[in-house]
């Protein structure tokens, strides 16, 4: 049984990952929001905002085998309406929060024989998409962080990968999917004619933590309905 830490397990992809991984592993879940489903899952749940807490109040296992950093943002505005605070906030959520958690747990990860870290980027880091300047900038930084850490930590046998979804049916996308018409239009933008699910992203995250992915590191894995590589 592996010890897995999931940051952002209170909803969306993080919650879906907790459901999958808690079946066979010891999961320590941390989230600023509490979802009722976390009460019925076999996980060790801590309510905390990792951006404002130093995590010293949480006692972690001596050995940590996997870390998923799932918090994210969808802050879509015309570039002229994006403030410097918008860029700073997106960067803090997507990049600095991940850095903080990895640095905190790195000694524990080093003690594992097969540690794996999973971060989240976005298809918007690969494609130029209007109104995505702030999100794209921070997610591009996540991809750079992923590759750099994968190289640096390979000596310790710690793997680092990122998943780059397109639009996924989570709470973050509520405004974009608030009507059947919006949902249908969003689906049709993808070659596979639908949006993604939290369970699909969580399934890939679980695979990247498993021994089956032991020769995969430094990768940005697009789960995007074909949008990142196909034009119809």
Contacts of 173 (CB under 8 A, 6+ apart): 74, 167, 195
Query: Are the beta carbons of 169 and 200 closer than 8 angstroms?
Result: no
Q: How far apart are CA 88 and CA 83, in angstroms?
A: 9
Q: 136 in helix, strand or coil?
A: helix
pLDDT score at 174: 78
Please name the helix (run of DSSP H) or strand (run of DSSP E) that holds residue 21, with its range, or none.
Answer: helix 12-21
Averaged over successive runs of 10 residues, the pLDDT of the chain (232 residues) comes to: 96 96 96 82 93 90 98 94 97 97 98 97 95 97 98 98 95 81 90 96 98 98 96 82
Could you tell me the domains of the chain? 3-223 (3.40.50.720)
pLDDT score at 176: 78
Alpha-helix runs per DSSP H in the chain: 12-21, 37-40, 84-91, 97-110, 133-153, 180-188, 198-209
Largest CA distance in the chain: 51
pTM of the predicted model, to two decimals?
0.95
* Separation in Å, CA 193 to CA 48, 196, 230, 231: 37, 10, 12, 12
Query: Are the beta carbons of 30 and 9 closer than 8 angstroms?
Result: yes
Query: Are the beta carbons of 71 and 6 closer than 8 angstroms?
Result: no
Query: Are the beta carbons of 29 and 45 closer than 8 angstroms?
Result: yes
């Amino acid at each position: 049984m592996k010890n897995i830490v999931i940051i952002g397990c209170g909803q969306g992809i993080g919650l879906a990952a907790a459901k999958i991984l808690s079946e066979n592993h010891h999961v320590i879940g941390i989230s600023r929001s509490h979802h009722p489903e976390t009460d019925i899952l076999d996980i060790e749940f801590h309510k905390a905002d990792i951006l404002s807490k130093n995590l010293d109040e949480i006692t972690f296992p001596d050995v940590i085998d996997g870390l998923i950093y799932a918090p994210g943002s969808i802050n879509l505005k015309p570039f002229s309406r994006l403030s410097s605070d918008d860029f700073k906030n997106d960067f803090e959520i997507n990049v600095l929060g991940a850095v903080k958690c990895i640095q905190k747990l790195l000694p524990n990860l080093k003690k594992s024989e097969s540690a794996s870290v999973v971060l989240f980027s976005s298809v918007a880091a690969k494609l130029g998409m209007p109104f995505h300047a702030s999100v794209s900038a921070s997610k591009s930084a996540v991809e750079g962080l992923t590759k750099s850490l994968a190289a640096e930590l390979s000596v310790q046998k710690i793997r680092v990968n990122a998943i780059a979804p397109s639009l996924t049916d989570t709470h973050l996308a509520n405004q974009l999917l608030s009507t059947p018409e919006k949902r249908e239009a969003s689906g049709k933008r993808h070659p596979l004619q639908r949006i993604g699910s939290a369970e699909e992203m969580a399934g890939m995250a679980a695979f990247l933590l498993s021994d089956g992915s032991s020769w995969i590191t430094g990768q940005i894995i697009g789960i995007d309905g074909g949008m990142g590589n196909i034009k119809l």
